[in-house]
């Protein structure tokens, strides 16, 4: 298990380096949902904090959204036992989501939008320079496929993002970590995780479909998850159809080169 923890830590450190996630003087609001991803993220960030040669602060924050069956006291007691300064916020977003989500429709998109807005404001009030979210590699590749299959867009989930109003920076320290590794470490460390009861009653069927699709592909292509993940960092913009990139990336010059190469290829084969 030490090996697994070290592997995950290396991935968090690399993601942080690649995307300047952690910088000297940062005060990072660590969003703690109470699920396995947030516990592992906080655990790894603390480990990194002990090893990093520059100082930064971590402030775990849990937003109690009044989800039925969820006990925020579990998290509060865990923080206290660990001797960690933290904040528990309480806003009943559940009633809003329940009132506006038709039966059978997924609750997650409105729920997470409301939560994000509250966390963005809290980060500013608490003097935090960044907000760390627990999305991982598998969230990113599922989002990539979801957007392609259902929304006609080629986009995933950025490891680092500045909010539209420019006031918040969101980071995803687990962006390079596989969900299976995170789950294994969470079980090993016996974090007191609690599943969300709302999304188990009103699941996101499209996301579940994409997860099942990737799993099924995995039977034929064992490295399918790593390959989709690698694709996120290996973009050939010249070989896509987005005309808005033409000027931005000076694609006409590239096309001219491609045409020349194609003409040369044709003359060789004739």
Sites of contact with ligand SF4 (CB under 6 A)? 107-108, 111-112, 196, 198-199
Distance CA 180, CA 248 (A): 38
Of 21 and 108, the one with the shorter C-beta distance to ligand SF4 is: 108
**Which is nearer to ligand SF4, 22 or 133 (by Cβ)?**
133
Token pair, residue 235, equals: 């973009």
Query: Which is closer to ligand SF4, CB of 115 or CB of 137?
Result: 115
Shortest distance in whole angstroms from residue 63 CB to ligand SF4: 9
CB 160 within 8 A of CB 19: yes
C-alpha 47/C-alpha 215 separation (Å) is: 32
Burial status of residue 73 (CB atoms within 10 A of its CB: 0-12, 13-18, 19 or more): exposed
Judge contact between 37 and 136, C-beta under 8 A.
yes
- Tokens 């003409």: give the residue: 263
User: At its nearest, how many Å lie between ligand SF4 and the CB of residue 145?
Assistant: 19
Beta-strand pair 160-162/169-171: antiparallel
* Shortest reach from residue 46's CB to ligand SF4, in Å: 23
- 129 phi/psi in degrees, rounded to 5: -90, -20
CB of 199 to ligand SF4, least distance (A): 4
Question: Smallest distance, Å, CB 193 to ligand SF4?
Answer: 13
Provide the minimum distance between the beta carbon of 102 and ligand SF4 in the complex, in angstroms, as a whole number: 15
Backbone angle region of 100, left / alpha / beta, with phi > 0 → left and psi within -120 to 50 → alpha: alpha
User: Which one, 16 or 202, has the nearer CB to ligand SF4?
Assistant: 202
Q: Which is nearer to ligand SF4, 22 or 108 (CB)?
A: 108
Spell 30-62 as b/e; 16+ CB within 10 A means b: bbbbbbbbbbbbbbbbebbeeeeeeebebbbbb
Torsion of CA 260, 261, 265, 267, to 10 degrees: 20
Provide the minimum distance between the beta carbon of 35 and ligand SF4 in the complex, in angstroms, as a whole number.
8
Nearest to 191 by CA among 50, 74, 60, 63: 74
């Amino acid at each position: 298990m030490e090996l697994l923890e070290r592997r995950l830590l290396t991935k968090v450190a690399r993601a942080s380096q690649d995307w300047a996630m952690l910088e000297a003087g940062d005060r990072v609001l660590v969003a703690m949902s109470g699920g396995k991803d947030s516990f592992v993220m906080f655990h790894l960030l603390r480990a990194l904090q002990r090893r990093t040669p520059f100082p930064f602060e971590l402030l775990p924050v849990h937003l109690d959204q009044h989800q039925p069956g969820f006990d925020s006291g579990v998290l509060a007691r865990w923080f206290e036992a660990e001797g960690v300064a933290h904040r528990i916020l309480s806003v009943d977003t559940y009633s809003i989501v329940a009132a506006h989500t038709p039966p059978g429709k997924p609750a997650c998109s409105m729920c997470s939008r409301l939560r994000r807005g509250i966390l963005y404001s809290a980060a500013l009030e608490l003097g935090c320079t960044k907000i760390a979210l627990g999305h991982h590699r598998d969230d990113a590749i599922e989002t990539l496929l979801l957007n392609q299959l259902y929304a006609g867009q080629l986009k995933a989930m950025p490891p680092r993002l500045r909010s539209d109003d420019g006031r918040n920076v969101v980071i995803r320290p687990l962006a390079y970590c596989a969900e299976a590794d995170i789950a294994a470490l969470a079980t090993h460390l016996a974090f007191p995780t609690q599943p969300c009861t709302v999304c188990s009653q009103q699941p996101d069927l499209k996301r579940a479909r994409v997860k099942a699709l990737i799993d099924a592909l995995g039977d034929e292509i064992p490295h399918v998850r790593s390959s989709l993940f690698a694709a996120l960092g290996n973009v050939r913009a010249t070989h896509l159809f987005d005309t808005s990139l033409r000027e931005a990336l000076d694609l006409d010059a590239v096309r001219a080169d491609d045409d020349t190469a194609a003409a040369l290829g044709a003359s060789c084969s004739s």
